[in-house]
Amino acid sequence: MVSKNAKCCVLLIFGIFFLINPVFAAINTVRPGETVFIGEQGLDITLAMEGNTQIGWWASAAPISTSSPTEVIAVSNPASFTISPNIFGSRTGVWYHLNPSGVANGAAFNIANPQLDIGIEDTTVNVDVTDKWVPTDDELRFRIDSNLYSISGRTGQSSTPITIRVQSPDGALFSSLISNSGVTTSIVNYPVTTTPEYTGSIWGTANRATYPPGTYTIWAECNVNNMKDNYGEVGKTISKKVSLLNQDQNPLIRGNVPTANPTQLSSTPTKKVTTFSTPTLTTSKNTPLPTLTALPVISVPPTTAEIVATPQPSPIKTKSAGFEAMLAGFALIAMLVFCTKK
């Protein structure tokens, strides 16, 4: 039978383990000086308050030790505190817990405005393809830029969960992605520990049955302690949406020049020459020859350039076949007449 002292020792050991091991701290637990974000709800700031019931904020450059706080808020339930956008949206920075006299006696927490952005990189060719094209068969990774990584610095936290949204051309949302080697990676509550945070090459576009060609829409969300539900502004707890066109060829990334149509590859255009044959007129003895009509002469006006006159050849006169014999006959008759007179 276990003695009462042994039971007490076991309980003491477990108690010490819970105190020294921060893994068991919830993500909503805030300790003095840690960063919280606008929109977070249900925060346990009991430790951050150090027994005080008020927090105060001083405008920038105001002397804390010699001036009253610009804003004072009473904390009625430190175990469930909300960083309301309406109250704290314009009052970021360090908030101090105040003693009963209203004097700051230590930093309670630092309030920050969340910021979230996402990009896409083609690791096959090492190119940023955010809002661009990507060749099918390449592998992709995501780049997350955010100040929300500081949540991982809270006691007991090792990362900040941020969800990556990938929407297919038909509107379906993926909860995980598959690489070209077949490795599946969840993109829900992806652990972020720094900025920028790079995922591995977790998206392989070679699986065309799962990732058909088309335009994909990508964005990121963070809903730690309901911050997106309370403060769902683009660029804050939701990144702006970016697009990715997945297709078989991407000359903008590959550097390829689109190939011309084979019919357009001839360097010298070929002129098509049409040959007209001269028609042959065939007539019978009883068929009269057709009357040929002269074509009209088209005069071309001279250009403004200098006109060079070209000598034209003299026209060639033609004689009938019996003209020379007729002249000889006339000459013979003239001689006979002349001789007879003598």
Tokens 């028609």 sit at which residue?
279
Q: Report the percent of the chain where pLDDT is more than 90.
A: 62
Distance CA 73, CA 76 (A): 9
Cα dist from 39 to 78, 300, 338, whole Å:
16, 87, 146
**Model confidence pLDDT, tens digit, residues 97-111:** 999 999 999 999 999
Question: What pLDDT sits at residue 4?
Answer: 52
Question: What pLDDT sits at residue 62?
Answer: 85
User: What single DSSP character describes residue 234?
Assistant: B
**Model confidence pLDDT, tens digit, residues 24-41:** 579 999 999 999 999 999
Question: What pLDDT sits at residue 231?
Answer: 98
Tokens 């990676």 sit at which residue?
185
Closest CA to 112 of 241, 242, 240, 224: 224
- Secondary structure (H, E, C), 212-230: CCEEEEEEEECCHHHHHHH
**Model confidence pLDDT, tens digit, residues 198-211:** 999 999 999 999 99
Coil, helix or strand at residue 236: coil
Average pLDDT over residues 205-233: 96
Question: What pLDDT sits at residue 53?
Answer: 97
Whether the per-residue pLDDT at 342 is higher than 60: the answer is: no
Question: What pLDDT sits at residue 248?
Answer: 82
Question: What pLDDT sits at residue 61?
Answer: 75
Whether the per-residue pLDDT at 189 is higher than 90: the answer is: yes
Select the more confidently predicted residue: 313 or 288. 288
Question: What pLDDT sits at residue 326?
Answer: 53
Average pLDDT over residues 106-124: 97
User: Model confidence at 334, in pLDDT bands (50, 70, 90)?
Assistant: low
Structural domains in the chain, sorted by start: 23-112 (no CATH), 116-254 (2.60.40)
Amino acid at 155: T
Distance CA 182, CA 243 (A): 24
Average pLDDT over residues 231-239: 98
Whether the per-residue pLDDT at 242 is higher than 90: the answer is: yes
Contacts of 263 (CB under 8 A, 6+ apart): none
Average pLDDT over residues 237-258: 75
User: Model confidence at 150, in pLDDT bands (50, 70, 90)?
Assistant: very high
Whether the per-residue pLDDT at 250 is higher than 70: the answer is: no
Amino acid at 15: G
User: What is the separation of C-alpha 337 from the centre of its chain, rounded to a whole number of angstroms?
Assistant: 118
Distance CA 336, CA 30 (A): 155
User: What single DSSP character describes residue 154?
Assistant: S
Single pTM value for the model? 0.67
Instruction: Give the gyration radius of the chain's Cα atoms.
Output: 49
